Chain A
Amino acid sequence: MLEIKNLHASVDGKEILKGINLTINAGEVHAIMGPNGAGKSTLSNVLAGRDGYEITQGEVLYKNEDLLALAAEERAQRGVFLAFQYPVEIPGVSNIYLLKAALNAVRKYQGLDDLDAIDFLTLVRSKLELVKMDEQFLHRGVNEGFSGGEKKRNEILQMALLEPSLAILDETDSGLDIDALRTVSDGVNALRSADRSIVMITHYQRLLDYIVPDFVHVLSNGQIVKSGDKELAKELEKTGYSWVNEEA
């Protein structure tokens, strides 16, 4: 699904990613953990195609295609989804309008016609249940006045609707109370499938109790310094990140 080879990236001339190597197969769930400033958000932004990052070395293959050559919207249309750490507000644009525009953009790439209003609403309703959201959410402005938990659930709602092949969840647990965390995790777990890969980027081990990863990687100073299974996360929880830095 995704093959990252010796990826180096800089922001304003400062190197943040210093040679990332990572292979993710279809159906796998990977957690990328690490201390603040390790390059976690840079990695998710580079994969999603945000402007302002310079790739100085390395390559990223997504479904055997050069991911870095594609514009952000082209990556999205091909099934790369980023659940944002801080979903932005778009005043006056209803949530349902955004959902529909997003779904139709993906369908257009797939050569499918736009869904008509009734089919679309039926589809969205079925996804709402997944994240325990009320239908009135659809008619509010995109993330406008949403609580932290509502914003994150809204991200998962979009993921459920768009059915991406590769979902990157950037600090999806941040700002969530325990109930919201459970709802969001249930949503993500329901979306686990053999043809979908998930990358969770997180500072804390807490999320991994709910969404159990197949692999855990520790990112430190722009490199993956340790990889293992879910036991590695537990180890980190006990000992913190300082030993990682020392070992590296």
Chain B
Amino acid sequence: MAEQQAEKEQIDDVLAGDYQAGFVTDIEVDSLPPGLTEDTVREISRIKGEPEFLLEWRLQAYRHWLTLETPEWAHVHYPEVDYQAISYYSAPKKKTDGPKSLDEVDPELLKTYEKLGVPLDERARLAGVAVDAVFDSVSVANTFQDKLAEEGILFMPFSKAVHEHPELIKKYLGSVVSYKDNFYAALNSALFSDGSFVYIPKGKRCPMELSTYFRINAANTGQFERTLIIADDDAYVSYLEGCTAPMRDDNQLHAAVVELVAHDRAEIKYSTVQNWYPGDENGKGGIFNFVTKRAACRGESSKVSWTQVETGSAVTWKYPSVILQGDNSIGEFYSVAVTNNLQQADTGTKMIHLGKNTSSTIISKGISAGRSENSYRGLVRIGPNAENARNHTECDSLLMGDQCGAHTFPYIEVKNPTAQVEHEASTSKISEDQLFYCKQRGMDVEDAVSMIVNGFCKDVMRQLPMEFAVEAQNLLGLSLEGSVG
């Protein structure tokens, strides 16, 4: 009896300690009071000193948003968001217009990223990864910018790009995800505060991984970041994105938009490890993650790969998609979505085949534990002109325990008779036999679960860049700790 109690306490400890990014940074901030009106939009634009065209665009988006209703088709349930209770801008106080070098960055902030395992000191970092760090509403540090600029590669905070390259922003902003696209995209277009901007010129292979690390710190703040990546003809870039937030009892809103454009023969690899605070074991707190991510394979033989490992957030609503316009273009979506306790995820992709000989691959691995709900929702559309289009889809679900749910909602629309579309789906459970086998070989339950789950996700994990794969593997283990035994 005492033994059982001790074991239970051990498990509780592990569970309680499992969100390691849950600390709060004590730092002075400039923020807007809660509330949302047209003036909020004007104020954000004013703070950022934006050109007129961008303010106009924001206002159009805001006015459009007012006409929209919250989407309710996803398999998720959450209390209505009070948009008047949220502050739409929060930035660490600073004296100048933005840190010119890391020496000007508040040491408290540097410490925050150090603690998260994202050191921003270029000398201390392993070479090969450039980082943009977004803290609440603004970018606080951006490493290796100068070195990349020598190659003609632009990697900078979005707000800086607005000033330095307005022609590129004008040309591409909203060209993949229109502000009319959906409720959250409209909200983001009106209110976005910062994010990353990447432009890879013709024929350039970006020599290092680019990464953005998003951190929500302030309470009652929404984070609305905007990322825009353009790979010109024959260019290549691999981009990584990581996310964390402190543990707070209130839900916080995160509504990002990511747009990718790949021109002729260009390739963009976009990897995400999403570890927003998921809420506690009773479903209290956590991030609402309502994100619109879409890529346009505009050029012929272009390629875009989305790889995501989603372990965090209370509610996730996210469908990284590819519009395959160029002939022979390729779209890929590799996803691992883990839900535990009372988390809910409705995630998947859309592959829109427009060009000839376009092909897409979807591999989705959903892992549900606790009392969570995990849904895959995917659309494969083959347009009338997409001769010889091909899609291969694999959706696998792994259940842990008997109180969680796994759902698959595949939509297939084929308007060209030459198309080949394959869909495979499976649902399995971690078996007692597998666990006993591992234990009999000396492994404890946590290691065994982590190993079995990582095996289940292998096809996705091996798509991740090396630096990220290890982090993602550990995260999978951590997210599921205490869910068995």
Residues of A with Cβ closer than 8 Å to B? 48-51, 71-73, 75-77, 81-82, 84, 87-88, 90-93, 97-98, 101-102, 105-106, 109, 141-142, 158, 162
Contacts and interface: CB of A to CB of B under 8 A. Distances in A.
B455 A141 contact: yes
A162 B442 CA distance: 10
A81 B441 CA distance: 7
A84 B439 contact: no
Given A51-B436, A91-B456, A97 B443 contact: no
A88 B455 contact: no
Interface stretch (B181-189, B312-320, B347-355, B426-434): B426-434
Interface string B451-466: 1101111110000000
Given A50-B436, A51-B432, A92 B458 contact: yes
B70 interface: no
16 contacts: A73-B440, A73-B444, A73-B445, A75-B440, A76-B442, A84-B440, A87-B437, A88-B434, A90-B438, A92-B458, A93-B458, A98-B451, A101-B441, A101-B447, A105-B442, A105-B443
A106 B441 CA distance: 8
B436 A72 contact: yes
B432 A105 contact: no
A75 B452 CA distance: 21
Q: How large is the interface on B (under 10, 10 to 19, 20 to 34, 35 or more residues)?
A: 20 to 34
A97 B451 contact: yes
Contacts of A105: 441-444, 447
A77 B440 CA distance: 9
A200 to B, nearest CB: 17
B439 A92 contact: no
B432 A73 contact: no
Contacts of B433: 88
Contact of A93 (B439, B440, B455, B459): B455
Nearest to B444: A73
A102 B452 contact: no
Contacts of B458: 92-93
B443 A93 contact: no
A50 to B, nearest CB: 5
B442 A109 contact: yes
Contact of A76 (B440, B445, B447): B440
A101 B450 CA distance: 12
Contacts of B431: 88
Contacts of B437: 84, 87-88, 90
Contacts of B457: 92
B451 A76 contact: no
B442 A102 contact: yes
Nearest to A75: B440
